[in-house]
Structure 1
């Protein structure tokens, strides 16, 4: 009994030890943020790395001006405006903003070019510049706001409604962190947008009503002119925002080792940390960007020379299977706690079956790589070798396919029924013998016994 008990305890200990020795994937710790809504996108990989209330409606404040800039640049692309075109600021454009809101000091009747106005808009977040550009693009502020909402819908923004051009508070002026990303992604396709948003400062040339004006960026991730202690070495934009109702907001972009990350934080506060006042929109943005760069890496799962698996082949006597490889090298952005061998493979063959003839390099299907319910990549699978077809098997298959079609089946049944109907009809119309059947006549002759006498 003691030996059995000892063996049981020993085996249980071995099993528990083996269990704990199996490598386990630990979930990444989420970043600790102050923001009410937050989003981190890896734009290079096209993946969301982190989201918190990313589709919850919130006030965007001056991040609104990204849409204003986008519509202006699209008007330039269409030829409706040019960057060097002079625009005269109207009285309405410069007086319909809050006196204590951010401004570039543009006066009614002052003339600036479209490009100068864009710099005022994006570098110092000038509210009057947004209105001046709106009137230049659409003729009126109201029509421009309508265009903003139309364009938001076209970009797939489902939680956005604009009420003005600049983001000054209005209960009917709202968006989401996700929608801000969609708008920013489109605006970032314009080189001038990225150049301006990444500029620390800009000198507005003298105008008809002003001497040279020096503008300094409101984005503390790229400029310490306004406040110190927030510079982020890899940041290259994009746009700040603040109102009492919206809180501190920031749309940020950074690029490191060829990877571009985009972060959005909304509803941040100002905090006292160790006796120092900290603007949490800049703190949260840097935290998110660091978290994305430190916890995700691009890993090579397959090269295009790696053979994946065999796919069954029909209609050939040469072979019954063909090897496939990926169409290109497969590099996937993965969390650091997920290794390539943990990815699940799902291979889909087009049409469910591969048929000969097959040429080397022919696309036969695709493979999806996933982990924990998330699809990381879908890649095309190509045949590694050519496979010849057997003509007899091909003909037999084509014939069977032809007769398996519902219409062909119906027509076949109809033809058979018609043939049977013709046969019956012919038999019914055949003339009968006047004296009955031959058999009946023969039986009558054979049974006749003659006349009695």
Structure 2
């Protein structure tokens, strides 16, 4: 009996602290973090990232900077360089090397040596059918050879801030030295959205290439990205574009854009089996749209200011004029989906006057963006024009001109004094003349008066 009582008592002592610990209420921050942890998707992709394409903010990542084999999502960089360096109406002629250097059985649209299509048609062949020989031809069109184009691709990736990327071909066919990362592919995809031509093409699921100089039949191109296909089990309402990829060593890779309201996201997933690349991408988008929103927190037009530009010479300060300062552009921020935008406020900090010289693009002041009392961003105010200091030659000319003005002013003063003196003298003489004349008249009148008597 005593042993049973001790066991019950010991159990009670152990349990009480547990109850008291759970009775402690969570702070609002802890509650939010806990809620977000519950909502974070579980994905099977070996590496992945979800990025806000407007702000560049990373909303989710998993092994995002690990070296991965991209397969055909490589072609997004091929399309980017083609649009940056080509003309959609230009004609592309397929070389023997472009057509016959691809692996047997890999994706193609049966282009022939010597066949010609436009760059626009070629890009649809790349985006919809992942045609490897077309990617080769585009590379040759841009840089003369696939190897030169691959170097161009790698250099462009570095310029975009990519940290784990090396391209050796234009189509993504496997090579141990051809690799990238989820983070780097998100940067490349984000840059591609700056191309208006791509924005017009990205959502296409069907395209026709009419007969060419070598092919009498029309080529009918159907898109492979199932999140864009309304008849697919994996169709996603908010998906707007992207690129599929597959090689044995990489399994399925996928880049997808999706937009809901003003929020546009890109999801990148690597090394997925079966249809998991579509399932994972949708899960990432659902998480992103549920928890975040892209908000324009300030507009360039609304926060354009004027600052006086001055310079000091020989202890004398002069005004050289006014310059306009403004943010680089409209500024967007990724905020929590439930953020109270009524608490959004902007505080400005810039001088009323600034010393020359001023260079266009120079930071003059800043804007602090707050949500409630929390600072969420600091935006630079930049000079919109250049104001130089006065050159020695100009300064000498100005000093000479000033001296001449002073001398002219002194001369004018003396002239005015002289004129006033002349006028005063003339008036004095006139007055004196009238006084003398009056005295003579008075004397004449007195003489006449005395003569009567």
TM-score class, shorter:
0.5 to 0.7
- Specify the alignment match of 2:228 in structure 1: 222
TM-score, normalised to structure 1's length?
A: 0.63
Partner of 2:13: none
- Could you report, residue by residue, the CA deviation over 1:59-96 in whole angstroms, capped at 9, with x for unpaired residues? 111011011111111112xxxxx322222211110111
SS at match of 1:148: helix
Does structure 2 conserve the Cα–Cα contact (< 8 Å) formed by 1:86 and 1:112? yes
User: Are 1:220 and 1:230, in contact at CA under 8 Å, matched by a contact in 2?
Assistant: yes
Give the unaligned 5+ runs of structure 1.
1-14, 77-81, 271-278, 304-326, 356-362, 382-453
TM, length-normalised to structure 2: 0.63
| Cα distance in 1, alignment partners of residues 188 and 21 from structure 2 | 53
* Aligned position for 1:111: 116
Determine helix, strand or coil for the equivalent of 2:153.
helix
Which structure carries more helix by proportion?
A: 2
Structure 1 residue 332, shift from structure 2 partner: 5.0
Q: Which residue of 2 aligns with 1:249?
A: 253
Work out which of the residue numbers 268, 271, 284 in structure 1 matches 2:272. Answer: 268
| Superposed CA RMSD | 3.8
Quote the offset at 1:367 in angstroms: 3.3
Q: Distance in 2 between matches of 1:375 and 1:48?
A: 19
* C-alpha distance after superposition, 1:153-211 (max 9, x if no partner): 11111110001110001000000111111111222111222222210110011112221
> Which residue of structure 2 lines up, in the alignment, with residue 378 of structure 1?
378
Look up the match of 1:295. Answer: 291
2:334 equivalent in structure 1: 333
Q: Is the 8 A contact 2:160 2:187 kept in 1?
A: yes
Total equivalences in the alignment: 321
> Pick from 157, 166, 173: which aligns with 1:161?
166
Equivalent pair of 2:263/2:294 in contact (CA under 8 Å): no
Specify whether residues 256 and 336 from structure 1 end up closer, same or farther in structure 2 by C-alpha distance, changes over 3 A only. Answer: closer
Contact 1:123/1:196 (<8 A) preserved: no
Aligned to 1:91: 96
Tell me the distance in 2 between the aligned counterparts of 1:206 and 1:341: 58
Q: Is the 8 A contact 2:368 2:375 kept in 1?
A: no
Q: SS in structure 2 opposite 1:232?
A: coil
Structure 2 gap segments, 5+ residues each: 1-19, 300-326, 354-363, 382-453
Structure 2 counterpart of 1:63 = 73
Per-residue Cα deviation, 1:358-417 (whole angstroms, up to 9, x for no partner): xxxxx976436589xx96322579xxxxxxxxxxxxxxxxxxxxxxxxxxxxxxxxxxxx
Q: How far off is 1:37 after superposition? A: 1.0
How many angstroms apart in 1 are the aligned matches of 2:51 and 2:264? 8
The 1:224–1:99 alpha-carbon spacing in structure 2 relative to 1, beyond 3 Å, is: farther
The answer for the alignment partner of 2:180 in structure 1 is: 175
* Structural mapping, 1:17-416, within 5 Å: 20=25, 23-24=28-29, 25-27=31-33, 28-29=36-37, 30-76=40-86, 82-210=87-215, 211-223=217-229, 228-270=232-274, 279-297=275-293, 332-336=333-337, 366-367=367-368, 369=370, 376-378=376-378
